[in-house]
Structures are given as structure tokens and as C-alpha cells.
């Protein structure tokens, strides 16, 4: 297939760059960038020579940087969004320690320089995170341009995710992680790639790294539509206690406590706890409660060795009203916020341990090692089809599981600096093992057991290795990588004596990103890559290993433009081909494989600073998703977004009044293959206003400001209500929250 060998050929391009004999330069600048208040290392700060911006670099996750000088007398300039720009005179060969003072966001601090993709998008996320502090994981995910989420099970279930024309279900085609710890659950009882991020306390998130498409060597399984990687603070500047209350008997309390106030350059520690409760807007009260506890400790063992450890605990349970059939609302059987089966709901818990040890052999070489463990439990009661399959007891199901996740990884990064170019070599390897006990699909009535449909133990292991080369020379930046993944699948079926043999398969994924910086206002780029999502273990062994690792092939071409200090614009046209799609099946709550698909679209990201305190942003996403091999008019991909947009106006000051007015919009889209059923689009406006002082903050937040009647999650589902003579396929939905207000009071110390 042409797509496959084209990637292998283009991967050889960066190897040609390295051919030749180049002398090492002695004009090397080394340094570290930190927050002057929290002592937190600052990642992705821009560092460049004031006389020649072509000599530039970015700080790494530990705040360290290495830069080659052009031998001319120059100063060093360091910028990062939300901090005062500093100019440092270059004197001697000593390592420079740069402390940046926090200040208000200013777009002039965003510099178009030669860099990898992560620094650019992390900067965008930092702007949005600084301008619009978030209070739940839904709002965290919505900060990613082009990403939409929908909740449809009482608040406790992982959100349904939409990105780049994909209905990713709960994470099938988007990889999610926090501090390198995977969030997605492979071969989950409810759906492949299930990504429940509710164990993340939003106020602990320092930054969000994200990327659309399958172009990123360090991200493997499930990275087809894109990835989202959260990172939490290593150090915090202030402790806080916060209380929130709102409509629908909503209550939240938060505490973040700094445990080590002194000598933060040597070690730091903090603990964060959150409790949340709400009844929600539905007639059947949700009784949703969530408890989170998170602690993090950092220790500089030596000047070159850094230890980071974290522990977290999460527990949640809830009731749900489920999906509502349109006909039941229209004929008055139930209210829009009513329920056909009020016994839906669930409970879940997760406990995580994460350890990262990094050692700098030299200023140029870093070795990072990570080990993590998660203990996870899940139980969900759902009813999608009501009385379609069982006219007497109804069709309610329970999906549950208990699993342990073990993972280790190692990454070596070495930076070579030559006379006029830089080569960064990254090599990584690791393994993740999921051991799931009693993965169940059970027929129940009002949560009471009737019969097992599926019951078994799952073992799935993913071993991987990758090599990545990043070459920066002149105005060019080339990032080429190749990744190898091997996946092993084993399923022990407890309902059948005849067992299917285990299966295993490997896949090679080449990646290539090329950037050309025309000048300090304009950068052009092209991306190409192959990614994949694994199939559910039960499907893999049942199909004797066929279509284990469906591949995705994609390409982007775009530009980043900063024509003035006040405007930043990113435009990309893209194409993505997928070997195999997943389709939601409402009658049993699972997903099943379908055929090949293609998507093409345009993404636009714009950030504008109207005044020193007033900002505007907008994200526009247009996609044409189609199934391949089906007749025209019958080739729509159910629920795949075709047009969406998010944006807002933000007034931001360090102290005093600040606030925002934001919106999110998604267009009507097909809910089935022939577009005969439509998933309704919506436009939702939110607003917030805060009064901030050094020791306290008072705030008001308004969701759905216009009180719009909207459907949050929607599916074309075949169902039958009690006493109906025949099933009906139509739009089933969960109603979106009406106007909602909450008040907040926080104390800092």
C-alpha cells in the first residue's frame, strides 16, 4: 500500500542531514529557568539571543536549556507567557540561573521560534489555562482546541470525547495521560480506551500538552485523532482552602496545602483534597459525589538527580436518569429531565502511585525513568433499549471490572550542539501490563442480578520502543521518529470451557514533522505519521487475531503567524485515513468494529490581545468524515462532528475584578449512516466574574447563561418502551444542564 512505504522513505530524510563532518562549537550557553515565587521549573520558556533570534531554544521540563552563541556580543532574552520578560547579559561560562517573576498574561511574550510542536501548543494551553481557571475535568478537556466532551450518565462516568471528526466514545481514538500516567483503560468493561479523568484535581494542573493527529513518536496506542497530556505542579506558590456552592444542591470544597515552605530548590511537597456533591438538574436526583486526594513530593537528590513521586486516591458514586427517547418526551410520557429507568448509575474508584527518577549525566544528556501502578474498580448500570430484548424485566445491564495496571518506561535524551545546528536524540522503551479480573456484562433488573452475558479475566500487555531525532539548523526544524509496539492479548472466558488462544501482534509507526521559520512572524510546517488503536481483547481472541491493531495514516500542512504583538494565528489543513472504525451499539452498551474511514478538515486557532487586560480567542474546526466503500448518502459516520467552535472574551488582572464570557458551538451532525436521524447542534454561553486579592478570592460562575435547551449526549438507538408493539429507532439523548450558577470563596496562605 502506497501510504505505508511512503512513510518509510520520508523517514530517511533526517538521516541525510546528519551526514558530514561538523566541528563542535565552544560557544555554549547553559542555564535553568524557574518561577521566582514557587521555585517551580518553567518548561517551554523561549530563550534566544537578542541580536539573532535564529539562535534560540526552549527550556525542558526541568527548566534546563543549552544554546549555541554566534560569537557576537549579545544579551540573552527569556520570555514565557504569564511572566515578565528578562534580558540577561552573557558573561563567562558559568551556568545561568534565571528566575522569572509572575505577571499578567501578555501575547507579546509568545515568540515564533524554531522548536518542536509541543512547545507551541503547550504555550497555547498555558494562555488559556491562565485566562480561564477551571474547576472540573470537563472544563480541563474543553481547553484543548477542537475537543468537545459530553456527559451522559449522572456525572460520574467518563465523558464522551469528540476530536477531529471522531466520536472517540470515551477515549478510543484519543490518548490521555497525567504526569506520564495513562488515563485510558484498554479492553474496558464499557468501551475501548475508556478515559475517566475525574481523579485529576483541576487546580493541581500546571499545563496541558496536546496534539491532533498521529504524528508524535512518544505517544503510542490510541493516539489516532490526537493526545492530551496533563502535567501537575511540582511546587505551589500558595496554599489554599476553597468552598463552592451552586444550584441543584451542588457543593464543592477544596484544600491544597504546601507541606514544605522552605528550601524549595532542594525539595518540595504538597497535598490536595477535593469533595464534590450535586443532585443535578434531572428529576431523579443524581446523588453524585466524588472524593479526590493527591500528594506530590520532589527531591533534588543531587544537583544532577531529581526524584518525583505522587500518590492519589479517587472514589465516586452516582445515580443517573439515562438516555431519554424523543418520543417519550413529545407524547408527554416523561419530562425532558425525566427517566424511563431511574435505577441507572454507578460507582468507581482508582488509586495511583507514580515515581519518576531523572538523572543528568551531563548538561547535554538526561536519563528519565518512570514506574507507575494503578488499582481500579468500576461498576455501571445502564439501560439503552428499555424493553427491546426482555419485555418483562427490561434491558438494564451492569458492566463492571477490577484491574491492576503496572508500567515502567525509560527515556534517554542527548543534545548535540554543532557549529550551526543542533541534533537532539531521544530513545525510549517501556511496558504496560493490564490485569483485569471479572470483567462483566450482566443482565440486571433495578441493579439486581438476572444472568451473566460476559464474564472473564483479561490480560493485555503493551511493550514498546522508539527512536526520535530532532535536527535544528538555520530556519529548519526536522523531527523524525519511528516507534515499535508489541501487544499481547489473553482472555480467560469463565462462561465457556473452550478457551480461545492468546494473540499477539506488533506494529511499526514512523513519524515526520518538518518546520520552516520564515521569520519571527511566520512559520510553516508539515506533518506525516502513522498511529493505531488496539482492539478490545475479547474481540481480538474471538476473531483469532484478525485486525488486532488498526492503523491510522495522517498528514497536516499549516502555518503559525504572529503579524503583531497582539495576534497569534495557527491554521492547518489535514487528512486522516483509518483502517478500522468503531461503532457504538446501544443494545448492549459495547462497541463493535466497522470499516475503513477517511477524514479531511481545517483547524483554525486564533488568540488576540485587545488591550493589556482584555483578550479574545477562537477555535474553528471543519471536518468531512466519511466511511469508505459504502454508497454515497449511506457513508456518514454517526455522531462525527462536522463543524465546531469555541472561544471567548477574557478580562485578566492579577488583583481586582476579572472575568470571562465564553461559548462553545457544535453543528447538527448525522446520528446514523444515511443521515436520516440528526444529532442536534447547540450554542452554549458561560460567564464568570471574580474579585481577587493576595489573600482571598470571591467568584461567581454561570453555565448556560442563555438557558439554552440542548442535548448533551445523543445516539440513534433502537428501543422499545413498555407496551409498545414494535421497536423504534430514533434519537435518544441526555438533556444538557439549564442555567446554572455557583459561588466560590477561596483563601490563600
Residue 520: the pLDDT is: 83
**DSSP H or E segment with residue 5:** helix 2-11
Lowest-pLDDT range of 87-101, 532-546, 563-577: 87-101
Mean pLDDT of 471-478: 90
Residue 117: the pLDDT is: 52
Lowest-pLDDT range of 140-144, 412-416, 672-676: 140-144
pLDDT digits (tens, 9 = 90+) for 705-734: 999 999 999 999 999 999 899 999 999 999
Residue 106: the pLDDT is: 84
Mean pLDDT of 648-670: 94
pLDDT digits (tens, 9 = 90+) for 78-121: 988 888 999 988 876 667 889 999 888 888 888 787 665 555 56
Alpha-carbon gap, residue 76 to 261, rounded angstroms: 31
pLDDT band at 199; cut points 50, 70, 90: very high
Residue 421: the pLDDT is: 84
Residue of 125 and 367 predicted with greater confidence: 367
Mean pLDDT of 138-159: 87
Alpha-carbon gap, residue 252 to 246, rounded angstroms: 9
Q: Number of helices (H) and strands (E) in the chain: give both, helices first.
A: 6, 45
Residue of 210 and 9 predicted with greater confidence: 210
137-748 under CATH 3.40.50.720, yes or no:
no
**Rg value, the chain, Cα:** 26
**Sequence spans of domains, the chain:** 2-116, 137-748
Positive or negative, the Cα torsion across 217, 219, 224, 230?
A: negative
Instruction: Return the percentage of the chain with pLDDT > 70, whole number.
Output: 92
Residue 207: the pLDDT is: 87
pLDDT digits (tens, 9 = 90+) for 307-335: 999 999 999 999 999 999 999 999 999 99
The answer on pLDDT for 635 being more than 70 is yes
Of the candidates 80, 81, 88, the one whose C-alpha atom is nearest the C-alpha of residue 50 is 88
Alpha-carbon gap, residue 627 to 580, rounded angstroms: 10
pLDDT band at 20; cut points 50, 70, 90: very low
- Which residues have CB under 8 Å from 485's CB, separation 6+? 220, 221, 462, 463, 464, 506, 507, 509, 532, 549
Q: What is this structure's pTM?
A: 0.92
Instruction: Return the percentage of the chain with pLDDT > 90, whole number.
Output: 72
**Mean pLDDT, all residues of the chain:** 90
User: Are 114 and 472 spatial neighbours (Cβ–Cβ below 8 Å)?
Assistant: yes
Cross-strand pairs, 485: 464, 507
Residue 491: the pLDDT is: 96
Number of C-beta neighbours around residue 219 at 10 A:
22
Classify domain 2-116 by CATH number.
2.60.40.1120
Residue 580: DSSP 8-state = -
Residue with C-alpha cell 514498546?
464
Residue 231: the pLDDT is: 94
DSSP 684-704: EEEEEEEEEETTEEEEEEEES
Q: Are strands 174-178 and 226-232 parallel, antiparallel or unpaired?
A: parallel
Of the candidates 614, 606, 722, the one whose C-alpha atom is nearest the C-alpha of residue 659 is 614
* Nine-digit cell string for 417: 550542539
Cα–Cα distances in angstroms (integers) from residue 16 to residues 9, 422, 469, 474, 583, in the given order: 12, 14, 12, 16, 43
First to last CA, the chain: 61
* Nine-digit cell string for 189: 468493561
Alpha-carbon gap, residue 198 to 184, rounded angstroms: 12
Alpha-carbon gap, residue 128 to 534, rounded angstroms: 32
The answer on pLDDT for 23 being more than 60 is no
The answer on pLDDT for 443 being more than 70 is yes
pLDDT band at 12; cut points 50, 70, 90: very low
User: Are 140 and 202 spatial neighbours (Cβ–Cβ below 8 Å)?
Assistant: yes
- Which residues have CB under 8 Å from 710's CB, separation 6+? 680, 682, 684, 704, 735, 736
Ramachandran class of 324: left when φ > 0, alpha when ψ lies in -120 to 50, beta otherwise:
beta
Q: Do 137-748 and 2-116 have the same topology in CATH?
A: no
Mean pLDDT of 401-411: 98
DSSP 322-352: --EEHHHHHTTSS-TT--S-TTEEEEEEEEE
Residue 18: the pLDDT is: 38
Residue 108: the pLDDT is: 83
Residue of 17 and 695 predicted with greater confidence: 695
Lowest-pLDDT range of 50-64, 319-333, 584-598: 584-598
Positive or negative, the Cα torsion across 57, 60, 62, 63?
A: positive
Phi, psi of 204 (to 5 degrees): -90, -5
pLDDT digits (tens, 9 = 90+) for 344-371: 999 999 999 999 999 999 888 999 999 9
The answer on pLDDT for 515 being more than 80 is yes
Residue 168: DSSP 8-state = -
Amino acid at each position: 500500500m502506497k501510504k505505508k512505504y511512503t512513510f518509510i522513505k520520508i523517514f530517511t530524510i533526517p538521516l541525510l542531514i546528519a551526514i558530514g563532518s561538523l566541528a563542535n562549537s565552544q560557544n555554549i550557553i547553559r542555564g535553568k529557568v524557574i518561577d521566582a515565587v514557587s521555585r517551580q521549573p518553567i518548561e517551554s520558556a523561549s530563550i534566544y539571543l537578542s541580536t539573532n533570534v535564529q539562535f534560540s531554544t526552549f527550556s525542558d521540563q526541568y527548566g534546563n536549556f543549552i544554546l549555541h552563541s554566534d560569537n557576537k556580543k549579545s544579551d540573552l532574552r527569556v520570555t514565557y507567557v504569564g511572566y515578565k520578560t528578562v534580558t540577561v547579559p552573557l558573561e563567562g561560562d558559568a551556568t545561568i540561573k534565571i528566575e522569572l517573576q509572575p505577571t499578567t498574561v501578555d501575547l507579546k511574550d509568545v515568540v515564533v521560534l524554531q522548536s518542536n510542536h509541543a512547545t507551541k501548543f503547550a504555550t497555547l494551553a498555558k494562555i488559556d489555562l491562565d485566562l480561564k481557571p477551571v474547576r472540573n475535568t470537563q472544563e480541563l478537556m474543553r481547553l484543548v482546541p477542537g475537543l468537545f466532551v459530553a456527559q451522559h450518565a449522572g456525572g460520574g462516568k467518563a465523558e464522551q470525547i469528540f476530536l477531529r471528526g471522531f466520536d472517540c466514545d470515551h477515549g478510543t481514538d484519543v490518548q490521555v495521560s497525567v504526569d506520564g500516567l495513562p488515563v485510558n483503560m484498554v479492553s474496558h468493561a464499557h468501551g475501548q480506551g475508556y478515559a475517566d479523568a475525574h481523579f485529576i484535581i483541576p487546580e493541581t494542573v500546571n499545563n496541558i500538552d496536546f496534539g491532533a493527529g498521529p504524528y508524535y513518536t512518544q505517544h503510542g496506542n490510541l493516539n489516532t485523532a490526537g493526545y492530551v497530556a496533563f502535567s501537575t505542579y511540582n511546587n505551589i506558590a500558595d496554599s489554599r482552602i476553597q468552598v463552592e456552592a451552586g444550584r441543584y444542591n451542588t457543593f464543592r470544597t477544596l484544600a491544597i496545602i504546601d507541606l514544605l515552605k522552605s528550601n524549595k530548590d532542594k525539595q518540595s511537597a504538597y497535598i490536595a483534597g477535593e469533595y464534590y456533591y450535586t443532585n443535578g438538574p434531572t428529576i431523579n436526583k443524581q446523588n453524585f459525589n466524588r472524593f479526590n486526594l493527591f500528594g506530590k513530593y520532589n527531591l533534588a537528590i543531587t544537583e544532577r538527580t531529581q526524584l518525583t513521586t505522587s500518590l492519589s486516591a479517587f472514589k465516586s458514586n452516582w445515580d443517573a436518569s439515562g438516555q431519554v427517547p424523543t418520543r417519550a418526551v413529545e407524547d408527554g410520557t416523561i419530562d425532558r429531565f425525566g427517566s424511563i429507568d431511574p435505577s441507572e448509575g454507578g460507582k468507581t474508584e482508582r488509586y495511583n502511585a507514580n515515581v519518576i527518577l531523572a538523572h543528568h549525566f551531563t548538561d547535554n544528556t538526561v536519563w528519565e525513568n518512570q514506574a507507575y501502578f494503578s488499582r481500579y474498580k468500576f461498576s455501571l448500570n445502564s439501560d439503552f433499549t428499555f424493553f427491546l430484548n426482555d419485555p418483562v424485566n427490561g434491558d438494564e445491564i451492569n458492566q463492571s471490572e477490577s484491574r491492576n495496571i503496572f508500567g515502567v518506561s525509560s527515556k534517554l535524551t542527548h543534545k548535540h550542539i554543532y557549529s550551526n545546528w543542533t541534533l537532539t536524540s531521544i530513545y525510549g522503551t517501556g511496558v504496560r501490563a493490564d490485569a483485569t479480573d471479572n470483567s462483566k456484562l450482566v443482565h440486571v433488573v433495578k441493579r439486581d442480578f438476572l444472568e451473566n452475558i460476559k464474564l472473564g479475566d483479561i490480560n493485555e500487555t503493551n511493550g514498546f520502543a522508539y527512536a526520535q531525532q530532532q535536527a535544528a539548523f538555520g530556519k529548519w526544524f526536522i523531527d523524525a521518529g519511528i516507534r515499535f509496539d508489541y501487544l499481547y492479548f489473553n482472555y480467560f472466558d469463565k462462561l465457556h470451557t473452550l478457551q480461545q488462544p492468546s494473540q499477539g501482534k506488533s506494529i511499526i509507526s514512523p513519524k515526520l514533522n518538518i518546520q520552516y521559520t520564515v521569520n519571527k512572524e511566520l512559520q510553516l510546517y508539515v506533518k506525516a505519521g502513522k498511529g493505531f488503536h488496539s482492539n478490545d481483547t475479547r474481540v481480538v481472541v474471538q476473531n483469532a487475531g484478525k485486525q488486532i491493531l488498526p492503523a491510522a495514516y495522517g498528514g497536516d500542512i499549516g502555518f503559525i503567524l504572529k503579524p503583531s504583538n497582539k495576534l497569534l494565528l495557527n491554521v492547518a489543513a489535514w487528512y486522516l485515513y483509518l483502517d478500522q472504525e468503531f461503532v457504538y451499539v446501544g443494545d448492549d452498551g459495547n462497541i463493535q468494529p466497522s470499516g475503513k474511514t477517511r477524514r479531511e478538515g481545517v483547524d483554525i486557532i486564533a488568540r488576540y490581545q485587545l488591550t493589556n487586560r482584555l483578550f479574545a480567542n477562537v477555535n474553528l474546526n471543519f471536518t468531512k468524515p466519511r466511511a469508505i466503500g459504502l454508497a454515497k448518502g449511506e457513508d456518514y459516520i454517526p455522531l462525527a462532528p462536522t463543524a465546531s467552535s469555541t472561544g471567548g472574551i477574557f478580562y485578566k488582572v492579577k488583583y481586582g475584578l476579572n472575568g470571562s464570557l465564553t461559548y462553545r458551538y457544535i453543528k447538527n451532525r448525522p446520528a446514523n449512516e444515511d443521515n436520516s436521524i440528526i444529532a442536534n447542534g447547540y450554542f452554549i454561553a458561560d460567564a464568570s466574574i471574580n474579585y481577587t486579592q493576595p489573600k482571598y478570592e470571591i467568584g461567581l460562575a454561570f453555565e448556560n447563561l442563555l438557558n439554552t435547551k440542548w442535548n448533551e449526549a445523543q445516539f440513534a438507538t433502537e428501543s422499545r418502551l413498555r407496551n409498545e408493539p414494535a421497536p423504534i429507532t430514533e434519537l435518544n439523548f441526555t438533556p444538557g444542564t439549564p442555567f446554572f450558577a455557583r459561588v466560590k470563596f477561596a483563601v490563600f496562605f
